[in-house]
Chain A
Amino acid sequence: MAYEGSLADRPFPEVLQHIARQGDTGILTLQGDEEIIGVTFLEGEVVSVDAVNQAPEDGLGLVLEEGNLVSLDDFSSLVAENRAGGGRVTDLLLERDFITRVQLLEALRQQTLRLCAEACSWQTGHFRFYRGDQVSHEEGIEPLEVDDLLARLASPQPPAPSVEPAAPVEAIPSFESGSLPAFDEVPEVEMLELESDDRGYDGAIAPPVESLVVGYSEEGYADINYPSIEYPAVESPDFVDEADEPPILEPRRRRERSWLGALESSKTPVLPGYLLSLGLLVSLLGLVLLAPGRFLLPLNGQDRIRTGIASGVQGSLYAKVDRAAKTHFLLRGDFPEGLEGFAEMRLIDADDFESGGRRVVYTRAPLSYQLSLEAQARRDRAVRTETISDNFLLDPDFSPAEVLDRPSLVLLD
């Protein structure tokens, strides 16, 4: 239950391809504006598709009706029976001899295609894949490869079958009104192996599609012409530059997951990305903690601003110490011997004994004090001297003359 996202960022075909590559089993749910579609995967291949808000009559019922197999009235009565607890609709269809299992499976595939086609048209929505060990599906259903599914979706017209089906199928319905090609009309396809150097995604020299496809029949491999296939029927993601990139929905080779897949995966090293990522994270942590100014202003020529910010921080610290020093003087009649004197009275926090990793150096004289930072003490400009002069609260010059003439007050216990 980890793979999820927005269809605006990752179109449905990409999501299908991603799950197919992982060879996952589970259910992909697509939440559109008005409909929720669930695509069931068995080891990376599609075994069924359902629409939550679609009435059975509008889904499988419609497919069977269009194939002149079961009228909508009959189908509705079966649905009603199902709702009354009479068993699964598909079982009832078979038990009542409305259709054969082969026809049922074919109809289910048609429904799969229709729902997938609908999902392909969604521009917005949310998807989420729930992984599982097992999924339920119609008995006898042949899992549908994602690439084949996408190729079929990409074909607007049902291409004329150029090869006979491998085995005769009894009572195959003709889906006259269906805009999607029936599965038995499309031959099993096998992609020729291509040298990735000259025919891979990286080139604008992607070969014509026709040359990629060969048909498979009982007689073996044979070239077939697929002029009607157009890619892609769905919108490609925005970041793909259609001018120089191959379409996302390019039919994949069936052997991709075998030796070629292995070869390709060996060409996409994962480790460097991980190592670089880890290195960057560690460096970030160190820099932010030790030299944040260097992180914010990384260029060598930006020393002036860095120094300015640091001296601003230093200035604010000095202002804080100054306020504390005055308070100390007002209460105790002198400046404290060390910074700890301020901390004892909670006039400043012990954290304020440092600025930018350098310790504050405090030197006291009877009527003044000096502040600087470690390693700055020898630079005149970096040393701040504060006195009590001109401060009418501290400077005895402001005291009324009669007070100065008075003898000092001595308090005795």
Chain B
Amino acid sequence: MSRRRNSTWIAAALALLSAGAAAGDSTRPEPVLEAGVRRDLGEIQQNWSEWLASYELKDYEAEELALEAILERLDELGMTGLPELSIAASARAVDSARLGDARGSARALAAAERLDPGRAEIAFARAAIERQEGSWWSFVISTLEGYVKVLESPLKRRLLLHNAVLWLLMTALLGGCVFVAMLMAVRGPALFGSLLQALRRVVPAPVGMLFLVVLLLWPIALSSGVLVIALNWSVFLWAYAQRSERWVLATLWVLFGLTPLILDEQRRRVSVELSPMARAVEASRRGHLEGRLFADLERLKILLPDSPAVNQLVADQYRRAGQCDRSIDLYKQLVETEPRNAAAWIDLGACHFLRGEYDEAIEYFRRGASLDEDVAQGHFNLSLAYSELYDFSESERALARAQRLDSSRVAEWLEESSSKGVAEVSGGLKRAAAVRRELRRSWILEDDSAAWSSPLQDYLSMPIAVVGLLLSFLAGRLLPKGHLEAQAPPLVDWGSKWGGFYRVLVPGIPELEAGESVRAVAAVTLFAGLLLIPWIGVYGYRLPWGFEPEVSLGWVATVIGIPLFFMWRWRRESAS
């Protein structure tokens, strides 16, 4: 049954290939790919189809041959991994395991590992298979392994970091607001008692109370959100709060002021990091051959045509793939703008060397080596080029110079040179961070030129925070304190038989009633933080992994963290 289904779609896929139809996007640049590179890429596609077909037919030999051919093409293109094919093979492995084909599943997983070693998705797929097999311990280990490997992917790591910032901000602000609410419950009598006492001199008590309510709830009229209400209360509560409580309130104001600044910066970074161009830069840097890598690099070139860093990166990528004409053009443009870029000169020489143009290669290698005496590649490549021209004495001199600079790497190059030719500097691939910065800058310029942009409004909370803090200080001095010591009776009888139980279960309130503000806010914030971890999975940035893990780490952290939190409180309570 399954084979029939798979046969059908493979036939459909190949029919589609035959049809040659493609939905084109006229706005996208056509990658300028030489016939050789294009053929290598096409063969990868073809070999993948063959791998799938032989996998279905359980023709292990053909399957291995197809995989070998893919990896050979990958090597020829100077890359180290095919993430999309690796993810697809992982998904295929899980599919096979679901159909009871354990051997096929293992083969697909092994193929995934060869196509792009060390991917998190492979570990997640293995975990899914182990769960189906009932190997729970292995399932846990593989899931954890997957989550650790997620950190190896720069994009996912950055998105995780942005989520962590979002979570921290949310937790801190929520903890602060809950603290203000608790403070209102505990110090409310002091606030209302003192202010009503003062107001009673000028207005009747009900009017005074109404006035106070308006004073405390006016932000509702501006629909400015709960946070502003809490901040408004903090101004009044400041006068009746202890010193440590005032620190918490001041921190809340500071967070309120800084949050837009932090989030705006995050918004810019995320937009750039998720853009296809930035992802292509990252893939290129890591040697990952993504399906649209060359197209996206061309788009990057169009977006930042004058950027030397982009020029060098794209040139490096084409040179690595063996597309020398395009990379020579780009290197030549680059050395015109950056004549002291030794790496560019050396890599330009490498292109000529690969084309058998040794005289030009020697010229460029010498140029690069003279600009940066410490780059061993220049001297090593020079020795190779001289050697090709039978100038062995010059060749040996250049080799000796390279060995003096970096003997261990020269030994490595000598081993590789028989297969790969010259040693590359790949200075452009090292400029990936600079390219991302330029992308961010260009994005900001574009963003700021938008008509609806208004930084004054965006960052309004900063001056408001300053004014709020000043008002709090003033309130501390000016507000009447006739009932300063008035405190609400304990919400629960903490001394009763169940008092200890309540103390454990209600974080914050008992600490605040005992005057331990720092402990109170820490307890509330920690509790809120634990509750908010899964929230990030819903409202935070999604990690674009190709295979979904069976277990969400966020939920696990919350499910384990909350009982641990209460156990810790229970131990503390018991100890005291």
Binding site for B on A (CB under 8 A): 1-6, 9-10, 14, 17-18, 21, 26, 128, 130-131, 196-197, 200-203, 237-241, 244-245, 248, 264-265, 267-270, 272-274, 276-278, 280-281, 283-284, 287-289, 292, 294-302, 304-305, 308-309, 311-313, 315-317, 319-320, 322-324, 326-327, 330-334, 345-349, 351-352, 354, 356, 365-368, 385, 387-400, 403-404, 406-413
Contacts and interface: CB of A to CB of B under 8 A. Distances in A.
Given A6-B516, A277-B182, A345-B91, A400 B39 contact: yes
A2 B495 contact: yes
A358 to B, nearest CB: 12
A277 B181 contact: yes
11 contacts: A3-B513, A5-B515, A131-B495, A202-B482, A277-B188, A284-B178, A295-B174, A296-B227, A296-B259, A389-B23, A390-B28
Nearest to A312: B270
B438 to A, nearest CB: 20
A295 B184 CA distance: 20
Nearest to B191: A273
Contacts of B141: none
A403 B87 CA distance: 25
Given A347-B91, A367-B22, A298 B224 contact: yes
DSSP class of B's interface residues: helix, strand, loop or mixed? helix
Minimum-distance CB pairs A-B, first 10 = A273-B188, A2-B494, A333-B13, A298-B225, A202-B482, A301-B457, A268-B193, A411-B7, A131-B495, A308-B267
A316 B159 CA distance: 9
A237 B242 contact: yes
Contacts of B292: 390-392
Given A196-B197, A284-B174, A308-B264, A299 B460 contact: yes
Contact of A267 (B91, B197, B517): B197
A201 B542 contact: no
Contact of B481 (A14, A26, A202): A202
A21 B484 CA distance: 14
Nearest to B31: A390
Contact of B10 (A202, A241, A272, A411): A411
B197 A389 contact: no
A367 B6 CA distance: 19
B270 A316 contact: yes
Contact of A388 (B22, B46, B271): B22
Nearest to B464: A299
| Max chain B C-beta neighbours (<10 A), residue from A18, A331, A385 | A331
Contacts of A201: 481-485
A272 B291 contact: no
B242 A202 contact: no
B295 interface: yes
B84 A327 contact: yes
Contacts of A404: 17-18, 20
Contact of A292 (B10, B21, B201, B539): B539
A356 B178 CA distance: 24
A202 B480 contact: yes
Contact of A2 (B24, B189, B503): B503
B226 A287 contact: yes
A387 B476 CA distance: 63
A159 B372 CA distance: 90
A403 B17 contact: yes
Given A277-B182, A308-B267, 14 more contacts: A5-B516, A18-B485, A238-B243, A267-B483, A269-B189, A272-B188, A280-B184, A296-B173, A302-B461, A308-B268, A315-B270, A393-B291, A397-B20, A411-B10
Nearest to B528: A288
B218 interface: no
Contacts of B291: 326, 391-394
Given A1-B495, A273-B184, A411-B11, A9 B91 contact: no
A312 B148 CA distance: 24
Given A200-B197, A276-B233, A391-B292, A9 B159 contact: no
Contacts of B454: 301, 304
Interface stretch (B309-317, B361-369, B383-391, B544-552): B544-552
Nearest to A291: B225
A331 B22 contact: no
Contacts of B12: 333-334
A354 B542 CA distance: 11
Nearest to B88: A330
Contacts of B481: 201-202, 245
Interface stretch (B48-56, B322-330, B351-359, B558-566): B48-56
Interface in B182-213: 182, 184-194, 196-198, 200-201, 209, 212-213
A411 B52 CA distance: 12
Contact of B192 (A244, A269, A326): A269
Interface in B270-287: 270-271, 274, 279
Given A387-B23, A411-B53, A241 B476 contact: yes
A9 B244 CA distance: 7
A300 B44 contact: no
A296 B260 CA distance: 8
B264 A313 contact: no
A1 B263 contact: no
Interface string B1-41: 00110110111111111111111110010110000001101
Contacts of A391: 291-292, 295
A279 to B, nearest CB: 8
Interface string B153-188: 000000100000010011001100110111011111
A278 B226 CA distance: 13
Contacts of B244: 9
A278 to B, nearest CB: 8
Interface in B354-411: none
B17 A327 contact: no
A398 B47 CA distance: 12
B214 interface: no
Contacts of B544: 316, 319-320, 322-323
A49 B88 CA distance: 77
A1 B492 CA distance: 12
B320 interface: no
A388 B11 CA distance: 18
Given A315-B271, A327-B91, A392-B41, A348 B548 contact: yes
